[in-house]
Amino acid sequence: MNFIRTAIPDVYIIEPIVHGDGRGYFMESFLLSEFEREISKISFVQENESCSKYGVLRGLHYQAEPFAQSKLIRVVTGRIMDIAVDIRKGSPTFGRYMAVELSGENKRQLFIPKGFAHGFSVLEDNTIVQYKTDNIYSPSHERAILWNDPSLAIKWGIPAKDVILSDKDKKHPLLKDAYLFEYKDDRQ
């Protein structure tokens, strides 16, 4: 696997090595020893899957402490624009976002650590997204930021007129009013 550092430290793009032939392909989508050597110790405890049509936008979601979650996202089929927003007060990249297209074809994955909001827009019908988390879902700790917060100016890869939101995702606060994490530089 190739572990690619992004412009926002601690967020990684992971490219698996795909072995293909006339029968199809094989790849390792996750190997704990490599992940921990390249990124950090992790213990995934939950895996989720969604299927969405073109235009669906999910986000920008995260959970408050003590149920904050790191996520490892991948697309089984279809395409998404995946977004990670740094919401760690005091971070050198606070309020910045990182975007990457994940697809069943490119097989890339995105690792997003605790302290980030996550969302994605669906670029193709029948897109299946799977993601692992290192903490369980807790409804009472669920938090989010409005998808089109002007201070973030996220480029979602689809026209705003095509965006399909849940009722809940239409009502989230702006970043300036949201629950934020404290930045801890573990590299010191």
- CB–CB of 79/52 below 8 Å? no
The residues annotated as belonging to the active site are 61, 131
Digit-coded pLDDT (tens) for 58-73: 999 999 999 999 999 9
Q: How many domains is the chain partitioned into structurally?
A: 1
Which residues constitute the domain of residue 84?
A: 44-182
Q: What is the CATH number of the domain that holds 66?
A: 2.60.120.10
- Label residue 56 exposed, middle or buried (CB < 10 Å: 0-12, 13-18, 19+): buried
> Which of 16-42 are b and which e, b meaning 16 or more Cβ less than 10 Å from the residue's Cβ?
beeeeeeeeeeeeeeeeeebeeebeeb
Within a domain: residue 149?
yes
**pLDDT of 74-131, one tens digit each?**
999 999 999 999 999 999 999 999 999 999 999 999 999 999 999 999 999 999 999 9
The model carries a pTM of 0.94
The predicted structure's pLDDT at residue 58 = 98
Within-domain flag for 75:
yes
The answer to whether residue 71 is domain-embedded is yes
